[in-house]
Every structure is written in C-alpha cells, then in structure tokens.
Amino acid sequence: MTAVAADRADERPADFTFLVLAALFLSSLVTCNLIANKFLTVDLGFKEFTLSAGALPYPVTFLVTDLLSELYGRRRANRVVWSGFAASIFALFALWLGNQFPAVPDSPVGDETYAAAFGNTWRVIAASMTAYLVAQFVDVRVFHFWKALTNGRHMWLRNNASTIFSQLLDSVLVVLVLFYGIWSVDKMAEVIFDLWLFKALVALADTPFFYAGTWLLQRLRTTPL
C-alpha cells in the first residue's frame, strides 16, 4: 500500500467533520476579537440595535459548540473552547508584535491607522476572553443538562435554552469588563440589552441550521470520504 493510500485509509469522516467545526469556531472567534472595536447599528425594522461588529459573527461560535456537544459530547466541545482561548492569545501576541516595528513610508497601513484599529485590542480580548470562557463553558454544561433532562429529545430546547442563557452572561461580562468606569450604568445597560436581544434572536433563528447541521454532519460522519 502506498503512503497516499495508507493516509486515505486512515481518514475518518468523524475526524474530518470535527476539524471543520473546530476551524469554523476558531475563525469566527478570532474574527470577532479583531473587529470588536467598531460599534454600529443594525436595524431589523422593529428595533435598531447598537452592537459591536464582533457580535455579528459571534453567534456562530455558540451554534458550533452546540453541534460539537450534540455530535461529540461535552469533553471534545470543551477542548475546542480551550483551543479558542489559545488562538485568541496568539492573535493578541501577533498584533502586539506587529506594533513593535515602524511602518515603511509607503505602507498601505501606517502606524497611526494600525494603532487606531488594534491599539485597544488587548483590552477587547481581555474582556472578550473573560466573557467567552464563562459563557462557552456554561453553554456546554446547560446544553447537556437539558439533553439529559429530556432524554435526548427536543433538540430545539437544549439548543436555545443553553445559548440564550449563556449569551446573557456573555453580554453582561464583556460590557462590564470593557466599559465599567467609562460608560454610565444606563449606557451599559442599554448596550447589554441590545447585545443580548440581538444574539438571542440570532440563536432562535439558527435553530433550523442546528437541525440541518446535525442531520448533515451525522451523515458525513458515517459516509466514507
């Protein structure tokens, strides 16, 4: 058997789908931290939300941890959460390192632009990681609590109950760590509510994707590559 044939024989669909989910989780998380400095408004018709740009891809991380919990169990989902923490620390180091060297005169991104975009990233990542670790581990634990309580039935319940509760914790923690002493209590409360409500609505909207993703990934895990 050739080396290529041996490699193909050793490939397992379950491992491949796990790597795809982990990659989606890590890329979403790192992107959230990089763009979190920008605050924007999102108008959904019935309400205009004030959000960090990082809130747009962040719900993907909770959908992925729910899929990982459903398909692979709590232990492997928690491993991906810790991997996300390590990836964010590395991203912070890379951004710091890029700021230690002056830009050349004709650089498309100068030192001032770089500092404006990423100078506060350490604080954003510190806030994000505090909220992230608490919320993601709570999400995994609550997901499995509801799964055990319902004997594996009602996927929509464990998906939404775990995500909506953990997103509330995440929203409170990230705003408090990032803006306590800078914003008024009323301003923080307003942003916390907007962040949580937006992410809760996204969590409800992604329920069909959770069902579809679970069905598709279960098939991929049992189908030879």
Supply the pLDDT for residue 2.
Answer: 46
Report the distance separating Cα 67 and Cα 155, nearest Å.
11
Note the pLDDT of residue 123.
67
- Tell me the pLDDT tens digit for each residue of 168-199: 887 888 788 777 778 888 888 888 888 888 87
**Two tokens at 60?**
């993907």
What residue has token string 């018709």?
A: 45
pTM attached to this predicted model: 0.72
Q: What is the per-residue pLDDT for 6?
A: 42
Residue 7 pLDDT: 44
- What confidence score (pLDDT) does residue 23 get? 93
Which of the residues in the chain have pLDDT under 70? 1-14, 119-125, 220-225
CATH number given to 8-221: 1.10.1760
pLDDT given for residue 22 in this prediction: 92
What ranges do the domains of the chain cover?
Answer: 8-221
d(CA 29, CA 58): 6
Q: Which residues contact 115 (CB under 8 A, 6 or more apart)?
A: 99
Among residues 15, 1, 34, 5, the alpha carbon closest in space to that of 128 is found at 34
